[in-house]
Amino acid sequence: MPMLNRRTLLAGAALPMFAIRTRPARAADFSLKMANNAPMSHPQTIRQLEAIARIKKATGGRVDIQLFPNNQLGSDTDMLSQLRSGAIDFFTLSGLILATLVPPASINGVGFAFKDYNEVWKAMDGKLGAYVRGEIDKRGLVAMDKMWDNGFRQITSSTHPIKEPADLHGFKIRVPVSPLWTSMFQALQASPISINFSEVYSALQTKIAEGQENPLTLIELAKLYEVQKYVCLTDHMWDGFWMLANKRSYSGLPPDIQETIAKELNHSALDERADLVKLNGSVAETLKAKGLTFVEADKPAFRDALKKAGFYAEWKKKFGDQAWGILESEVGTLS
């Protein structure tokens, strides 16, 4: 062994690796990439890492998935392109944003469609989810059976509280890149601006947008409270993430491996849903302690405003009778 002095140590001399490893580690047969837009501390990231570890173990090391969380690979729009080209193999994306490629995938985001999580999971684990997965499949992507929760969305603002529909008039609100989101806030006479999540914090900080809307957990974990003053409890839509796979890459895997991956990802999706329910119980207090003022919004008034603006009629036409019929069979009449 060569003599070591301080300088070679500091320079990171090529000492340790082959001294410790007597033979090279077995390389995985399948090295795959997964990406998301969620903060490192979000249950989505944590539960994806757990699924990846279980998949590695269950396949005896044959499958090695590397996770790139928190927009490390770019915005949602970028990552969707990467997924389609095969540069990444798995990606969790909001159904509403996926709708830029698969229009029916935004159906769960219709304003005030779901009243609670029971209704959400009955529909998304049932007929509505099956319908959307079929549409995703037709456009060349694979969606795992179990959706991941994002949550019921609330409006935040740095300028004034949003209680009544009139408070939204002309309000510069950031919305994700999705026709349904833009249409909904236009119907409410706000001024929506489409911005990917990777740019939201800075858009709020520089006042490009006065406000935005997201579930409380994300408002906390992405530290949006640092650049917002009010949280207005609107529950105006429920939003979740599809765990998507590139079809060529996924269907090229041996069937037993596909089965293990699907099983573990679905398992982690259920864990993540439970995590968010738990976090929802405490996050309001946390946000109040960080200085946000909570405001109760007049939800029925917002829903009426959407109805009067023709929002439901317009989207019923866009989604078509079949899709709208499935949605209404789950949640009751919407228009």
The residue ranges that bind ligand X2X (CB under 6 A) are 37, 94, 97, 150, 176, 197, 214, 218, 239
Q: How far is the CB of 209 from ligand X2X (least distance, A)?
A: 12
Decide whether 128 or 175 has the Cβ nearer to ligand X2X: 175
Decide whether 97 or 305 has the Cβ nearer to ligand X2X: 97
Cα separation of 293 and 302, whole Å?
A: 20
Cα separation of 18 and 12, whole Å?
A: 14
Q: How far is the CB of 242 from ligand X2X (least distance, A)?
A: 11
Q: How far is the CB of 247 from ligand X2X (least distance, A)?
A: 22
Q: How far is the CB of 153 from ligand X2X (least distance, A)?
A: 7
Structure tokens at 21: 């490893």
Decide whether 90 or 197 has the Cβ nearer to ligand X2X: 197
Distance of CA 113 to the CA centre of its chain: 18
Q: How far is the CB of 74 from ligand X2X (least distance, A)?
A: 13
Q: How far is the CB of 94 from ligand X2X (least distance, A)?
A: 3
Decide whether 80 or 218 has the Cβ nearer to ligand X2X: 218
Decide whether 203 or 253 has the Cβ nearer to ligand X2X: 203
Q: How far is the CB of 241 from ligand X2X (least distance, A)?
A: 7
Decide whether 62 or 172 has the Cβ nearer to ligand X2X: 172
Q: How far is the CB of 89 from ligand X2X (least distance, A)?
A: 19
Map the chain to HEC letters.
Answer: CCCCCHHHHHCCCCCHHHHHCCCCCCCCCEEEEEECCCCCCCHHHHHHHHHHHHHHHHCCCCEEEEEECCCCCCCHHHHHHHHHHCCCCEEEEEHHHHCCCCHHHHHHHCCCCCCCHHHHHHHHCCHHHHHHHHHHHHCCEEECCCCEEEEECEEEECCCCCCCHHHHCCCEEEECCCHHHHHHHHHCCCEEEECCHHHHHHHHHCCCCCEEEECHHHHHHCCHHHHCCEEEECCCCEEEEEEEEEHHHHHCCCHHHHHHHHHHHHHHHHHHHHHHHHHHHHHHHHHHHCCCEEEECCHHHHHHHHHHCCHHHHHHHHHHHHHHHHHHHHHCCCC
